[in-house]
């Protein structure tokens, strides 16, 4: 056997490293796990949305497609029944008009949600603790389809009975 010191040191390091890896995997990866991310620099702003879809903490905040920060907190306001999304914006982007417009968009066809900011025309800028008033919720595909069907159904309202008759034999 080798000298006991190096043996114990090596084994200890290995076991510690292994458990640290397992701890990280089981704590940091799952949604339910606790996060140990350190605070990053920048300032924080809030926005209320009717529906955030599947927006997640860590999702990017962009303006004109350029990444400016990330979503760092999502909570539910019990009084207004809206989702309050906290965002951290990098401190270099300190000239965003405070009447800017925030919308939740989808990356690509199947991608995740992100927040897109469109600039307003105000002379005063967003600062730490600011609140964005104009927001647009995430587009939920089911609602869109429902609207689509509703518009189909309402247009030929007089011939509705005929169309249902036509569809019957197909089934």
Partner 1 sequence: MSKVTHGGFLSSGIRKFGAGAIFLAQLLVQSVPALARPRLIVYQIYNAGARSLIIIMLAGLFVGMVLGLQGYNLLQRFGSEDALGTAAALGLLRELGPVITALLFAGRAGTSLTSEIGLMRATDQLVAMEIMAVDPLRYVAAPRFLGGIVAMPLLSGIFNLVGLYGAQLVGVQFMGVDRGSFWSQMQGAVELRDVTEGVIKSLVFGVTCSLIAVNEGYHAEPTAAGVGLATTRTVVASSVLTLLLDLILTAAFL
**Interface with partner 1 (CB under 8 A):** 1, 7-8, 10-11, 13-15, 17-19, 21-22, 24-26, 28-33, 54, 56-60, 67, 70-71, 107-112, 114
Q: Which is nearer to partner 1, 17 or 153 (CB)?
A: 17
Helix (H) or strand (E) holding 46: strand 43-49
CA angle at 42 for the pair 135 and 107, rounded to the nearest 5°: 45
Exposed/middle/buried for residue 142 (C-beta within 10 Å: 0-12, 13-18, 19+): exposed
- Backbone dihedral angles phi then psi of residue 124, each to the nearest 5 degrees: -95, 150
Q: Which is nearer to partner 1, 141 or 150 (CB)?
A: 141
| Nearest distance in Å: CB 88, partner 1 | 10
| Nearest distance in Å: CB 95, partner 1 | 22
Q: Which is nearer to partner 1, 37 or 157 (CB)?
A: 37
| Nearest distance in Å: CB 45, partner 1 | 16
């Amino acid at each position: 056997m080798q000298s006991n010191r190096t043996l114990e040191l090596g084994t200890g390091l290995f076991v510690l490293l292994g458990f640290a890896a397992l701890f990280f995997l089981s704590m940091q990866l799952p949604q339910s796990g606790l996060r140990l991310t350190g605070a990053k620099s920048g300032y924080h702003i809030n926005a209320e949305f009717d529906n955030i879809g599947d927006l997640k903490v860590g999702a990017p905040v962009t303006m004109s497609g350029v990444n400016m920060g990330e979503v760092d907190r999502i909570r539910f306001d019990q009084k207004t029944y809206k989702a309050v999304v906290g965002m951290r914006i990098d401190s270099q982007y300190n000239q965003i008009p405070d009447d800017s417009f925030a919308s939740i968009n989808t990356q690509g066809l199947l991608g995740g949600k992100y927040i897109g900011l469109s600039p307003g025309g105000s002379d005063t800028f967003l600062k730490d603790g600011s609140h964005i008033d104009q927001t647009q919720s995430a587009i939920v595909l089911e609602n869109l389809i429902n609207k689509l069907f509703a518009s189909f159904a309402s247009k030929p309202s007089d011939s509705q009975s005929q169309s249902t008759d036509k569809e019957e034999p197909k089934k």
